[in-house]
Amino acid sequence: MDGIKADYTLELGSEEMANLVAQAMAHIAPFLDHLAAQPASDTCGGEQLARSLREGLPREGTPFSDLLDLLFGRLIPKTFNTAGPGYLAYIPGGGILHSAVADLIADSVNRYVGVWAAAPALAQLEVNVGRWFCDIVSYPEEALGLLTSGGSMSNFIGIVTARRNKLPENFLSGTLYTSDQTHYSVSKAAVLAGFPPSNVRLVPSDSRFRINLEELREMIRHDRDAGMTPFLIVGNAGTTNTGAVDDLSAMADLAEREGMWLHVDAAYGGFFMLTDRGRQAMRGIERAESITLDPHKGLFLPYGTGSLLVRDGSTLRKAHSVRAVYLPDTEHEPDLVDLSQVSPELSRAFRGLRVWLPLKMHGIGPFQRNLEEKLQLAGWINAQLREIEELEIVAEPQLTVLAFRLRLPGQDDTSINRLTRRFMDEVNARRRVYLSSTVIQGRFLVRICVLSFRTHLERMQMALEDIKAAIAKVVR
């Protein structure tokens, strides 16, 4: 028709597509090949760099090659090297390339998996992944697993699901209980779910940083007497601070007796269910009504993939199901799942493929073996550090996190904290490993978390050397 101008710029031909991917890959492959030689962290000048990038909406295009040079040459290097073997801070994972390739496929075909009718087989792949995770935690047939953007979102959905299944529409008398070691995303989720912050009870933890069950029982009893409605207990299967695993069996007993919902935050620890040690530590997890576990931690995926599992799939449906006339008829097939009916999202990324592809390509074996190795590495470094007189191990690894500080006889906590921080900065300044810290009961602690698939013994030996060198510099 006259006057209608078509623009074809964004519709690439096959050669252009191949070129685009090849150019990107020409940067990605050498970058990943040299990860081990890159600093474990380098954000020096990062603030200035960030500010220098501010600009208006681009009117003109820039050659792809220039943009790749900017990214790989200047921007990516000024970061924590979260993909590298020396990243022992916070909760690592690494980020397997298989998932990046799966994203390329998923985003290229751009199919819609929010309602199964739009892509029945692809939605099924994602449901399969959820089912595999349910099998890992020994959930029954009627369980359902959902992929989310991460642990925070899974905790949020878990809490909303508990609220919708356990409390009336006017839910403000509902109280929830979790240890003082719990990740802050749980308190944040409770607030986002509509609870006043004062309805979140933080229960003291014991000497191994696990929830104190006596205090928990007492708080629940006290709240009931005061006319509140205790409805949810959140347990930990691996805290961020020290990797502590609560006594999940005892918590399940208590929740059952009290008619409360048990949610377990296993964002970090959950995939250790693939190991004997992990199954021992997390005994009872299968009795929880819901579980958060993060593939972008314990399954080594790139950031952006969490999961929430519920023991009874109908609870997710009850919490989320709302109909709309403009959508395809949903779910006449009871065995096929509309992901939009069991989660907050409608349009969603096809996250299933980034989990499904690597698991189908390799089977679970390499993941399992990597987790076993990380348990051994955490045990190894712990044993080495115990031999060092100037260190006090405050939290021995229950899984693969340990926390420690300087032992300085005769000095008070304030100076131990100050010197321990200096010690950590010294270790990190060597740039072969990157460690992070936490503060528990006023004590500044250095943490090591071993979870990247790229971390092996030689990197832990470097960590040990750098720790010894930093002690020599700060203490002696």
Per CB under 6 A, residues contacting ligand PLP are 91, 150-152, 183, 185, 239-240, 265, 267-268, 294, 306
Residue pair 323/267 in contact by the 8 Å Cβ criterion:
no
Rounded Cα gap, residues 290 and 258, in angstroms? 17
The rounded radius of gyration (Å) of the Cα atoms in the chain is: 24
Tally the residues of the chain: 476
Residue pair 243/400 in contact by the 8 Å Cβ criterion:
yes
Residues forming a β-bridge with 440:
443
Residue 63 parent element (H or E): none
Residue pair 314/101 in contact by the 8 Å Cβ criterion:
no
Residue 345 parent element (H or E): none
Residue pair 126/356 in contact by the 8 Å Cβ criterion:
yes
Tokens of 373: 């190795």
Concatenated DSSP letters of 265-300: E-TTTGGGGGSHHHHHHTTTGGGSSEEEE-HHHHT-
Q: Which is nearer to ligand PLP, 157 or 255 (CB)?
A: 157
**C-alpha distance from residue 240 to each of 60, 201, 476 (Å):** 45, 19, 31
Residue 289: which of 245, 251, 247, 246 has the closest Cα?
251
**C-alpha distance from residue 151 to each of 202, 279, 320 (Å):** 19, 20, 19
Residue pair 193/199 in contact by the 8 Å Cβ criterion:
no
Instruction: State the CB neighbour count (10 A cutoff) for residue 76.
Output: 14
What type of residue sits at position 256? E
Minimum distance, C-beta of residue 384 to ligand PLP, in the bound complex (Å)? 25
Tokens of 194: 């509509």
3-state secondary structure labels for all residues of 209-245: CCECHHHHHHHHHHHHHCCCEEEEEEEEECCCCCCCE
**C-alpha distance from residue 334 to each of 142, 304, 331 (Å):** 12, 29, 6
Closest-by-Cβ residue to ligand PLP is 151
Q: Which is nearer to ligand PLP, 268 or 271 (CB)?
A: 268
Pairing of strands 200-203, 174-179: parallel
Minimum distance, C-beta of residue 57 to ligand PLP, in the bound complex (Å)? 30
> 39 by DSSP, 3-state: which?
coil
Residue 194 φ then ψ, to 5°: 105, 0
